[in-house]
């Protein structure tokens, strides 16, 4: 369970009995927990964890991995690129094999396209934080060795059938939403979600717009980078927000990821797998995973690199919304059409309090008038 803040794995919010809703109980002797919170650079952390598994005195760990029915990797923040490279290496060593095991990775507030850009000039980051923290900013550049290594690992593990769930956090003061949900990557084994704590939750236009955009991505429909442009609106501040940390204390985050791991159909099926209806996962009936073929056809990852350091033009947002309104895949889906019309009603009632929210409403006013 690679993380970044030094908390022991036992203090995370993993449900004590994730199978309780199915009248079964996971016995302690039936599971093995391995954790890491070393603040070293990504490649060093991966090597350290592999060495831990291969040490003669830790031989049981390697045997446990090989014999496991399910391998569930839980990661937070910097641990996300580390975990992708770790799983790739475990596959190379034949310690895990997606065709005979269910392998899943939960990425909570993962730094996939770098941290919030403005943090690069923060005094604390520049002069006090470790080299490992500064290394994360290199993920903002898709041409950097760190980015290419990470994207290569993601491509390998997704191609081989690993299920990945990426969950961003509302008012995250470190990681932008587009980074947490790996916006540049597309693959049917990736599921995206958003965590909003009770204190910040509102059933308003902005919340529902982000949920709508995430649903589009989960259905394999291009959101025209709407989530990238909305990331700044839901970003937190170093002074007063703790969204980056609160996410891993929420049991519902782990329960959702376990549903994705256990109930979804991978693009590379297990040798004796069966299809599970989408409703078991709480997904729309048309979700691309629900009807996945059991032919064993491997699907390659699609990657659209973007430089997170480049300033976004906020006036793209109205054009994106207008494009989505006319998108054939949305207009032909009754459920999405209903959501889109509800968004219009919510927009009329929306009274944002933040500066970013007020600017967003101002820019969308012409689109609303046209519709």
pLDDT tens string 91-145: 999 999 998 999 999 999 999 999 998 887 765 555 445 666 778 889 999 999 9
pLDDT of 352 strictly over 60: yes
pLDDT at 179: 97
What does pTM read for this prediction?
Answer: 0.83
Cα–Cα distance measured from residue 289 to residue 286, given in angstroms and rounded to the nearest whole number: 8
Two tokens, residue 335: 């459920």
pLDDT of 38 strictly over 90: no
pLDDT at 117: 86
Phi, psi of 165 (to 5 degrees): -120, 125
Extract long-range pairs of 286-294: CB within 8 Å, 24+ residues apart: 286/219, 286/333, 286/335, 287/218, 287/219, 288/188, 288/219, 288/220, 289/188, 289/191, 289/264, 289/265, 290/265, 292/188, 292/265, 292/266, 292/267, 294/265, 294/269
Query: Is pLDDT larger for residue 237 or for residue 174?
Result: 174
Domain residue spans of the chain: 9-311, 313-371
Query: Is pLDDT larger for residue 209 or for residue 19?
Result: 209
pLDDT tens digit string along 190-233? 999 999 998 889 999 999 999 999 999 999 999 999 999 999 99
Query: Is pLDDT larger for residue 34 or for residue 367?
Result: 367
Cα–Cα distance measured from residue 290 to residue 25, given in angstroms and rounded to the nearest whole number: 26
pLDDT at 314: 86
Cα–Cα distance measured from residue 6 to residue 354, given in angstroms and rounded to the nearest whole number: 33
Bridge partner list, 72: 104
Of 26-30, 141-145, 151-155, minimum mean pLDDT range = 26-30
Cα–Cα distance measured from residue 18 to residue 11, given in angstroms and rounded to the nearest whole number: 16
pLDDT over 70, % of the chain: 72
Extract long-range pairs of 43-46: CB within 8 Å, 24+ residues apart: 43/85, 43/149, 45/2, 45/82, 46/82, 46/85, 46/86, 46/89
pLDDT at 169: 95
Query: Is pLDDT larger for residue 325 or for residue 274?
Result: 325
């Amino acid at each position: 369970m690679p993380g970044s803040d030094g908390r022991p794995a036992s203090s995370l919010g993993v449900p004590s009995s994730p199978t309780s809703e199915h009248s079964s109980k996971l016995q302690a002797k039936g599971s093995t927990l391995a954790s890491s919170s070393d603040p070293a650079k990504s490649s060093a952390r991966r090597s350290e964890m592999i060495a831990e598994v291969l040490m003669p005195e830790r031989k049981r760990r390697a045997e446990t991995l090989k014999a496991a029915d399910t391998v569930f990797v839980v990661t937070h923040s910097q641990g996300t690129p580390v975990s992708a490279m770790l799983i790739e290496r475990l596959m190379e060593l034949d310690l895990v094999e997606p065709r005979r095991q269910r392998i899943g990775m939960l990425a909570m507030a993962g730094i996939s396209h770098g941290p919030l850009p403005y943090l690069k000039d923060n005094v604390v980051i520049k002069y006090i934080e470790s080299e490992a923290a500064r290394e994360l900013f290199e993920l903002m550049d898709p041409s950097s060795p760190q980015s290419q290594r990470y994207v290569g690992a993601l491509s390998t593990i997704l191609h081989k059938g690993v299920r990945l769930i990426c969950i961003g956090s509302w008012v995250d003061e470190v990681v932008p939403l587009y980074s947490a949900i790996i916006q540049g990557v597309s693959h049917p084994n990736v599921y995206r979600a958003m965590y909003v704590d009770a204190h910040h939750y509102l059933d308003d236009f902005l919340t529902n717009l982000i949920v709508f955009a995430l649903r589009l991505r989960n259905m394999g429909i291009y959101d025209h980078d709407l989530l990238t442009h909305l990331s700044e609106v839901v970003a937190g501040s170093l002074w007063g927000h703790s969204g980056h940390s609160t996410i891993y204390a929420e049991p519902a985050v782990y329960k959702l990821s376990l549903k994705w791991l256990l109930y979804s159909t991978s693009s590379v099926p297990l040798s004796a797998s069966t299809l599970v209806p989408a409703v078991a996962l709480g997904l729309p009936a048309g979700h691309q995973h629900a009807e996945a073929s059991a032919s064993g056809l491997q699907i390659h990852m699609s990657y659209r690199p973007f430089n997170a350091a480049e300033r976004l033009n906020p006036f793209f947002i109205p054009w994106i919304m207008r494009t989505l309104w006319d998108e054939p895949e949305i207009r032909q889906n009754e459920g999405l059409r209903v959501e889109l019309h509800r968004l219009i009603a919510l927009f009329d009632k929306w009274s944002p309090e933040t500066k970013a929210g007020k600017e967003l409403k101002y820019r969308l006013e012409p689109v609303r008038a046209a519709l």
